[in-house]
A and B are shown apart, each in its own frame.
Chain A
Amino acid sequence: MGIEEKLPSGVLLTSVEKIAGWARARSVWPATFGLACCAIELMMTGGPRHDLARFGMEKTGSTPREADLMIVAGRVSQKMAPVLRQIYDQMPEPKWVISMGVCASSGGMFNNYAIVQGVDHIVPVDIYLPGCPPRPEMLMDSIFKLHDKILNMKLGPDRDEEITELEEARLNMLPLRVNAGINDIGSEL
């Protein structure tokens, strides 16, 4: 039925990284940080029609101590930001963050004094999911992308190398558009 039926002589050769990645990805427990409207769509994603339980994510961790994934669903206000950081700190490694919705990704339509303009000011984010609010299917797509990321995550010293490489790539990343006009970033003096 599954992969075990297709194995020759019942022996599977793989690497620890692959097995660890597979185990982590197939049972991600979300610490749902449901804040605002996106939280409602998150709830609906856990409902019967778009079922998150199929992906092993039904156990919404009531406690961050047992959670792997923090889905920041909704707008993070200034008052809530320290709480967000505290919950993130309480989660044990390995942990990932999906910022669900535009308010979590960038402050969204609320470009003002009250909202943190993107939770990546506070916690490192793995997947940014736009939408106001994103449909449950969009959320599931982001979760699949995260699953891909988790599946291919390296372990041990390889992981440290991977992190260094990603950081270098980010730091040396070229801007989206080369300076071309008076309004472009970098043209102000």
Chain B
Amino acid sequence: MTTPPEGAPGGTPGGVPDSTSKPSDEKLPGKQPPAGEPAGEPTPDDQASLPARLGEERLEEPVARTGMFGVTTTGDTSGYGRLQVHRPPLPAAEPPYGGYFDAIARGLGSALQADGVDFNDAIERVTTDFGELTFYLRRVHLVAVMDKLLHDPDLRFEIFGGVSGVHYPGDVGRELHAVYHLASITHNRRVRLEVAAPDADPHIPSVTSVYPAANWHERETWDFFGIIFDGHPALTRIEMPDDWPGHPQRKDYPLGGIPVEYRGTKVPPPDERRSYS
């Protein structure tokens, strides 16, 4: 995937690796390649078994979809009825990440270390897909990580870019995701944090104590997804009327349209139409 150029995330690929990152002698935080295996190019043997290994990894993932074309009853004569599509394996990048991502990871690692929190405890996964750095956090450490990202002089992510909720009903046990975007004016960087909470226990700590601007964003995410932000001063509905039941942007909430009359026929709302994809 594309590596970002120094100091300016953008679309242009072919970035220069971070000049301050040293090769293998410095331990960068994050999932390290297993000891004993040399980092770098896979050996010819590894490459030969790569497709088989990837295939096995995929089979270990949970099943995301059974059958094709959305058919759920026995009327399926397509022959695809017993097809099982596994969820794609969760990507994880290994350090060095490229560009300024390593500076962020290192800064965050050392800042958390100073508080006695291990980087790998707080952060489950790191991805650098599409030239954007994403940290997947454990929710208990969210406020601590946010605090470091704002106040640490090497990090200084001043601009809070909003909370975006996403509902993955297929991701059992981690259905509700909250995605935070942060921007640093001082260092001209961007970072994304993602935390997950299960439907059964939709609590995520509120970051309003660190970023006051998160106030309305968290209210909106509560309104639309039902994620309860612990520690929020006034978690009430903001977009829907105050007594609205349900959380509209969840995937199990219907779109709520009405059939539309057109030239003597009725067109159903978009979520009730036939779909082939």
Residues of A within 8 A of B (CB): 78-79, 106-107, 111-114, 117, 175-177, 179-181, 183-185
The CA-CA distance from A111 to B271 in the complex, in Å, is 10
B269: chain A residues within 8 A (beta carbon): 111-112
The CA-CA distance from A106 to B258 in the complex, in Å, is 11
CB–CB B241/A114 < 8 A: no
CB–CB A78/B241 < 8 A: yes
Q: Cβ of B263 < 8 Å from any Cβ of A?
A: yes
DSSP class of B's interface residues: helix, strand, loop or mixed? loop
A179: chain B residues within 8 A (beta carbon): 264
Interface residue ranges of B229-277 to A (CB < 8 Å): 239-241, 244, 248, 253-258, 260-261, 263-266, 269-270
Q: Contact partner of A112 among B241, B257, B266, CB < 8 A?
A: B257
B258: chain A residues within 8 A (beta carbon): 107, 111, 117
Q: Contact partner of A183 among B257, B266, B270, CB < 8 A?
A: B266
CB–CB A183/B248 < 8 A: no
Nearest to A183 among chain B residues (CB) is B265
Please tell me the number of chain B residues within 8 Å of chain A, measured between CB atoms. 19
Nearest to B271 among chain A residues (CB) is A112
Nearest to A106 among chain B residues (CB) is B260
B241: chain A residues within 8 A (beta carbon): 78-79
The CA-CA distance from A101 to B261 in the complex, in Å, is 18
CB–CB B264/A111 < 8 A: no
Contacts A111-B257, A111-B269 given: A79-B240 contact, CB under 8 Å?
yes
Q: Smallest distance from the beta carbon of B274 to chain A beta carbons, Å?
A: 14
B263: chain A residues within 8 A (beta carbon): 176-177
Contacts A79-B241, A111-B257, A111-B260 given: A185-B248 contact, CB under 8 Å?
no
Q: Smallest distance from the beta carbon of A108 to chain B beta carbons, Å?
A: 11
CB–CB A114/B264 < 8 A: no
Interface residue ranges of B19-36 to A (CB < 8 Å): none
Q: Contact partner of B255 among A107, A113, A175, A183, CB < 8 A?
A: A113
The CA-CA distance from A180 to B255 in the complex, in Å, is 30
The CA-CA distance from A106 to B64 in the complex, in Å, is 38
The CA-CA distance from A78 to B253 in the complex, in Å, is 16
Q: Smallest distance from the beta carbon of A110 to chain B beta carbons, Å?
A: 9
Q: Smallest distance from the beta carbon of A148 to chain B beta carbons, Å?
A: 28
Q: Contact partner of B264 among A79, A113, A185, CB < 8 A?
A: A185
The CA-CA distance from A79 to B263 in the complex, in Å, is 31
CB–CB B254/A185 < 8 A: no
The CA-CA distance from A117 to B266 in the complex, in Å, is 15
The CA-CA distance from A154 to B256 in the complex, in Å, is 41
Nearest to A175 among chain B residues (CB) is B264
CB–CB A111/B270 < 8 A: yes
Interface residue ranges of B189-248 to A (CB < 8 Å): 239-241, 244, 248
B244: chain A residues within 8 A (beta carbon): 78
Q: Smallest distance from the beta carbon of A49 to chain B beta carbons, Å?
A: 35
A79: chain B residues within 8 A (beta carbon): 239-241
The CA-CA distance from A6 to B203 in the complex, in Å, is 80
A180: chain B residues within 8 A (beta carbon): 264
Offer 16 A-B interface pairs, CB within 8 angstroms, sorted by A: A78-B240, A79-B241, A111-B255, A111-B257, A111-B258, A111-B269, A111-B270, A113-B255, A113-B257, A114-B248, A175-B264, A176-B264, A184-B264, A185-B261, A185-B265, A185-B266
Q: Smallest distance from the beta carbon of A165 to chain B beta carbons, Å?
A: 26
The CA-CA distance from A114 to B248 in the complex, in Å, is 9
Q: Smallest distance from the beta carbon of B226 to chain A beta carbons, Å?
A: 15
B270: chain A residues within 8 A (beta carbon): 111
Nearest to B257 among chain A residues (CB) is A111
Q: Smallest distance from the beta carbon of A186 to chain B beta carbons, Å?
A: 9
The CA-CA distance from A181 to B263 in the complex, in Å, is 12
Q: Smallest distance from the beta carbon of B225 to chain A beta carbons, Å?
A: 15
CB–CB B256/A177 < 8 A: no
Nearest to B255 among chain A residues (CB) is A112
A177: chain B residues within 8 A (beta carbon): 263-264
